[in-house]
Structure 1
Amino acid sequence: MTEIASPFISQPRILVLGVMSGRPGTPPFRIVEIDGEVVGEARGIIDVLEIAAAYGITVHDLDDPSVVCWVGGDKFSWVPRR
């Protein structure tokens, strides 16, 4: 028998971390990692897509957990939690 005991769990290439408060007067942002490296800050969904495209990743579905992992909220969470 050649199967392993646990199923394969893929790691998404894009990781969008929780919302961070910016300096006073600046909008909140989320840190974006690609392949485990911090590559930028996103202030909205479009920023995430632009960063991914800059690294050669085409995102067809922002809700696909095998492509994008949203930490501390979903793709619509752009305000810091209180």
Structure 2
Amino acid sequence: MTEQSAPYISHPRILVHGVCPGRPGQPPFRIMEIDGRVIGEARHVTDVLEAAASYGITIHDMDDPDVVRWVGGDKYTWTLHSR
């Protein structure tokens, strides 16, 4: 058998957590980590690109799981969903 017994798990430098409610009067946000350190809040996909660039990371494909891991949604998820 040539398959691996364990699936490949990427370890991207950028991790964008799920959407958190903002304070009253402020929009929701997502916590962002780079290299395992929380660097702040992202309110738009451009915030992720700007933060990555400030750490010297160039993102060519926002959907590449080896570059960015999106938790609780994807690059288009920036609002809370009602259940």
* TM-score when normalising by structure 2: 0.87
Q: Mark the runs of 5 or more structure 2 residues left unpaired by the alignment.
A: none
**CA RMSD after TM alignment:** 1.4
What is the total number of aligned residue pairs between the two structures?
A: 79
Task: Tell me by how many angstroms 1:9 deviates.
Answer: 3.3
* 1:1-82 matches, cutoff 5 A: 6=6, 9-82=9-82
SS at match of 1:18: strand
Deviating above 4 A after TM superposition, structure 1's stretches of 4 or more consecutive aligned residues are: 4-8
* TM-score when normalising by structure 1: 0.88
Q: Mark the runs of 5 or more structure 1 residues left unpaired by the alignment.
A: none
* Alpha carbons of structure 1 residues 22 and 9: separation in structure 2 relative to 1, 3 Å: same
